[in-house]
Amino acid sequence: MLYSLIANAYEKIEATTKRLEMTDYLVELIKNTPKHIIDKVVYLTIGELYPPFEGVELGIAEKLAIHAISSVTGKTEKAILDDYQNTGDLGTTVEKFITKKTQATFFRQPLTVEGVYDTFAKIARSTGGGAQETKIRLLSSLLNDASPKEAKYIIRMITGRLRIGIADMTVLDALAVAYGGGKKFREEIERAYNLTSDLGYVAKTVAEEGLGAVEHFKIAVGKPIRPMLAERLSSSQEILAKMGGKGVAEYKYDGLRLQAHISPKSIQLYSRRIENLTDQFPDVVRALREAIVAKEAIVEGEAVGVDPDTGEMLPFQMVSHRRGRKYEIESTAKEIPITLFLFDALYVNGKDYTMEQYPERRRELQKIVKPTDHVKIAEQIITSDPSKLDEYMDQAIADGCEGLMVKDLGPESFYTAGARQFKWIKYKREYKSEMADAVDLVVVGAFAGRGRRAGSYGALLMAAYDHESDMFKTVCKLGSGFTDEDLANMPKMFAQYKIPHVHARIDSKIKADVWFVPTVVLEVIGAELTLSPSHTTGWNAIKKGAGLAIRFPRFTGNWRKDRAPEDATTVDEIIKMYNRQLKKIEVEPKIA
């Protein structure tokens, strides 16, 4: 197949402003393509060489492209760069500079799609010493054989700027028309795509085996499934009503969604946008190897950064800090260890579970996971009571989560790959209360440390002072911000305040491992104040059945030796801080 066919089609597609026309040109291109290379044509048209989850990047630096253009056209690199700065598109520049005269006409051969594709693939895969020269040589050979128009698209493709505006859904439409006879077949083709995330593979299957093949499309280990998505509602009544009165409320962990494909040979991790993240999370791979007892499985979960010393969950930023890294992967994994909270099982030992109801998938998940510190199963309750849901929401937030994910458990509760429906509803807060100021809190108890902190304390139980009742009311567990020296000294330092039972002036719903006479005051700063069913500061003041807690608290380093426990920040002050700083949360702040 001649590459000029592709270049002509791209030009027409680019020129039209109507989506229908765009699809028509794409249909024409697909119909003109021999079936055995339809996958290649589809990948090229969306600016790729392989399905995105294979993680092979074609893009070469513009500098190299300019070098190749210069060697083929005889123009100086400066002249090319000057023109490029004017046009803003290296494709337009090369189209202008390439003429028959500039090329070595004697050796020119018409470009074929297969030839262009294979050369692109060689460019993408050449790495290591001498790779740059190889890439330039390969690109130059393509440009030498290209017409000006072909050169334009080759350069755009190679620099990662094809941008003819064909999205995956347009390709699905075009495939439905070209091979199925109409857009009404799009749904079936889309399903196949949702189960494999591989447009080229779907196109080739439909082209060679007909639409019937798509009906029996199966999920497979190693081909990421497009993730099921959630709708959003903002009241517990509404959410439960949508679920037919009853739902599973699960912690909505604030991290990075991972889909793990496990086989005896390998474990692959894919992001929500189907990128392959395996190399960035070797610790997660090892943890899954230990925790999953099935031979083959596809499971989904949320990867959350966890404080190695206290076991407390860290804010989202910490896990996103680990993503996209090329260097120091293992050392960052030690600094920010991850716990994967699994929430779904889509495939186990040869059986596809996507068409099973959610309770069945969860049962299967529980069967194949042996929970460890680094792989756990998502916390959940089943409820039909909106106030229970609200209470659970407060608890989730105080535990470092973003809110709840409420899930349907009825007969229709399949895993709907790639679709956003009301079978999953996210329930996040509308408001949050940021903490601008540090507070002084009293140490009332402690929790045994683990890991590096074994033998010392992992976290302290902190309280505010309630003037009215003359009691200390708990407001957070504090584990961050201490130096190694502080940590080592803590048991000795607090030994004099240790008592065998909770002190009569401490009001706590949490059971500490060690109790103290309220004496020592520390300065603490946190990310925000939040409602909590576990802490007693401000109990019932803002909401019935909830107190206030500090989320992600941190010791500032300031031991308030000058303060008596009664000089600590009061419960009233904390309630005021909560009210004063209440602010609406932006909707959908992150893409993960």
The interface region with ligand AMP, picked from 80-88, 100-108, 251-259, 516-524 by CB under 6 A, is: 251-259
Q: Which of 149, 257, 388, 543 binds ligand AMP (CB under 6 A)?
A: 257
Catalytic site residue 252? yes
DSSP 159-196: TT-------HHHHHHHHIIIIISSGGGHHHHHHHHHHH
Dig out the tokens for 332 from the structure: 């960052």
Q: At its nearest, how many Å lie between ligand AMP and the CB of residue 587?
A: 9
Restricted to residues 293-322, the positions that interact with ligand AMP (CB under 6 A) are 302
Smallest CA-to-CA distance from 536 within 558, 563, 495, 506 is with 506
Kindly tell me which residue out of 426, 473, 503, 535 binds ligand AMP, with binding defined by CB under 6 A: 426
Number of residues that bind ligand AMP (CB under 6 A): 13
For residues 60 and 109, the answer to whether their CB atoms sit within 8 Å is no
The residues in 317-346 that bind ligand AMP, with binding defined as CB under 6 A, are 343
CB 184 within 8 A of CB 176: yes
Q: Which is nearer to ligand AMP, 183 or 272 (CB)?
A: 272
Least spacing, CB of residue 388 vs ligand AMP, in Å: 17
Q: Note whether 466 binds ligand AMP by CB under 6 A.
A: no
Q: Does 269 bind ligand AMP (CB under 6 A)?
A: no
Q: Which one of 75, 204, 223, 252 is the catalytic residue?
A: 252
- CB within 8 A of 330, min separation 6: which ones? 282, 283
| Cα 396 to Cα 108, 134, 391, 405, distances in angstroms | 66, 54, 9, 10
Nearest to 193 by CA among 317, 95, 51, 306: 51
Stretch that binds ligand AMP, among 15-23, 196-204, 247-255, 283-291 (CB under 6 A): 247-255
Beta carbon nearer to ligand AMP, 430 or 484: 430
What's the rounded Cα separation, in Å, for the pair 253 and 338? 12
Does 161 engage in binding with ligand AMP (CB under 6 A)? no
- Which member of 152, 252, 362, 535 binds ligand AMP (CB under 6 A)? 252
Among 250, 307, 391, 507, binds ligand AMP (CB under 6 A): 250
302 versus 408: smaller Cβ distance to ligand AMP: 302
Choice between 334 and 590, CB closer to ligand AMP: 590
- List the one residue out of 44, 28, 199, 27 whose CA is nearest residue 112: 44
Contact present, 26 and 170 (Cβ < 8 Å): yes
Per-residue contact string for residues 352-381; x = within reach of ligand AMP by CB under 6 A: --------------------------x---
- According to DSSP, the β-strands at 528-532 and 431-434 are antiparallel
- Say whether 507 sits in a helix, a strand or coil: strand
Nearer to ligand AMP among residue 212 and residue 589 (C-beta)? 589
Contact 398, 534 (CB under 8 A): yes
Question: What are the residues binding ligand AMP (CB under 6 A)?
Answer: 230, 250-253, 257, 272, 302, 343, 378, 405, 426, 592
Which residues does the annotation mark as catalytic?
Answer: 252
